Structure 1
Amino acid sequence: MSDVSLIDRLLDVIEHDIVPKTAAGVARGNKLFGAAILRKDDRSLVVAETNNEIENPLWHGEMHCLKRFYEMPRVERVDTKEAIFLSTHEPCSLCLSAITWAGFDNFYYLFSHEDSRDSFAIPHDLKILKEVFTLDPGGYNAENAYWKSYSLRRLARALPAPDRERLETRIGDISARYDELSQTYQSGKAGNDIPLA
């Protein structure tokens, strides 16, 4: 059974910590992907970040979050095995590798690769997985010797009706906000300096 309080907490972090940074980033021309790191023990936020590809095309939401995490003084960081990694969107191959190399044993995400392609008109994750790694959608190993990944939508759908319906409403509200951010990004991306815009 899914932990309802964990799903709620991760949605809180997306809504209150990641989305405001993402809105500011999108206004500057960045994509709408974001990430956060939380402590497992008390679920407190360690760091939240968003995409910063206008500075460096490698600063995807997850990569930029990891960059900021490792810029923190060591005493303020948590051991990655004692942390939850949260991504707004299912991580691309670059970010999957970074999460692995950093030593996280988990990650959670809200939007799938297909959502990135279909709802947000950013197809690069699936194209790269297919062209470089010959993987079809969903073809990477979502549970392996390094980590286990969790779709927040799938976790919510597995809950009994009252919690499921409440969480699906919350996810719908967050999705509507991301639709707005996507429209802003798509309408302003012409001329930006992001190689795979």
Structure 2
Amino acid sequence: MKASAALPLIVLAFFAASAAACSSCGTSRFPTPSACVVSGTTVDPKAEGCCADIEAVTLLGRILDELGGSAYEATKATVDKGNSPFGAAILSNEGPGYPLLYADANQVQTAKTPTAHGEISTINGFFQTVPDAQRLPAADTIFLATHQPCSLCMSGLAFAGFRRVFYAFDYEMSINGGGDAGDILDAVVIEEVFTASCGHVDHTNGMFTMIPVQAALQMLPCGNDKSIAAALRSEQQRFDNIKEKYAELGRVFQERMAAAGGGGSGIQLLAKACVGCKPYPRQECVRPGYDPNADASTAAAGKEEL
């Protein structure tokens, strides 16, 4: 069969597989996403029908295990090599205990490619290094990102077939606690290319459901179960402690960038000075020669020059 004739069949097979995988998106072992997500963009942990049962607490516990364990260790190791502090882990959604399948982190500097983000490196490693016999289909896994996936990584997750995505820290922490120029560029891509204002990307869509860990921890216990409520409070404290560990990695990264003349605190200053949706900077914020100390009128005038 000629390649040109085979291509339509490949495309049809891809969409058929995607449709089959998405048919069970709303029946994952985590509470039905539609009950917790409003208007496709905002996760509301206290929405009617959204509550945490013992299985949700178990899953959140495993997510925090890997957030503070394998994902953190991979992220710390990559920061020591000069990379940005972003990592990820992949857990099985089959069998008891949600076992870890793979973890990795940002490799932009070591791999010398701007696309080796934490999620992309993890996706590539999962498919390239885990033996076929041991690798579950992406749709049967849970993808955990240490930080909210950027536009590049969301596309990678969609193309790779991941359907359930959790992330620990939002865009604001990415920019203020360890980000680099790529975070500002991502805000521009999301707003200018995908026209998603203020970084408010769809958390539930035809490709995947994306749930912030912090929002999940704020769910009310099903049936007002006191033991589940206590478990959620305990996990919230654990999450706060882990968050500080990542914040420290961010500070280390920023200090090294500043020492190397690569930005450091100027990144946060630039982000906070932008007009529009703070802390999500608009295009004028990355215009060559833009003064982060300029007032809004100067910035607005600068945009007209683009």
TM-score, with normalisation over the residues of structure 2?
0.60
1:68 to 125, 149, 158: 125
- Provide the secondary structure at the position in 2 that maps to 1:49: strand
Report deviation, 1:74. Answer: 1.2
Report deviation, 1:115. Answer: 2.0
Report deviation, 1:139. Answer: 2.6
1:32 aligns with 2:93: no
- Provide the secondary structure at the position in 1 that maps to 2:153: helix
- Provide the secondary structure at the position in 2 that maps to 1:108: strand
Counterpart of 2:75 in structure 1 is: 22
- Provide the secondary structure at the position in 2 that maps to 1:109: strand
**Where does structure 1 lack aligned partners over 5 or more consecutive residues?**
none
Aligned positions of 1:82-101 closer than 5 A: 82-101=140-159
Counterpart of 1:163 in structure 2 is: 231
User: What are the superposed Cα offsets for residues 26-56 of structure 1, whole Å, 9 maximum, x if unpaired?
Assistant: 0111111111111101311110001111112
Counterpart of 1:59 in structure 2 is: 116
Report deviation, 1:121. Answer: 4.2
Counterpart of 2:102 in structure 1 is: 47
User: What are the superposed Cα offsets for residues 139-179 of structure 1, whole Å, 9 maximum, x if unpaired?
Assistant: 32111111111111001011444233212211111111011
Mark the CA change 1:164 to 1:103 in structure 2 (over 3 Å): closer, same or farther: same
**Where does structure 2 lack aligned partners over 5 or more consecutive residues?**
1-50, 222-228, 268-306
- Provide the secondary structure at the position in 1 that maps to 2:197: coil
Q: How large is the Cα RMSD of the aligned pairs?
A: 1.8
* Range that drifts further, 111-120 or 151-160: 111-120
2:137 to 74, 79, 85: 79
- Provide the secondary structure at the position in 1 that maps to 2:69: helix
Counterpart of 2:15 in structure 1 is: none
| In structure 2, distance between residues paired with 1:119 and 1:20 | 18
Aligned positions of 1:96-111 closer than 5 A: 96-111=154-169
Aligned positions of 1:72-151 closer than 5 A: 72=129, 73-122=131-180, 123-124=183-184, 125-151=186-212
Name the amino acid aligned to 2:230. P
Is 2:76–2:249's contact at 8 Å kept on the other side of the alignment?
yes
Superposed structure 1 runs of 4+ greater than 6 Å apart: none
Percent pairwise identity: 32
Across the two proteins, how many residue pairs are aligned to each other?
193
TM-score, with normalisation over the residues of structure 1?
0.91
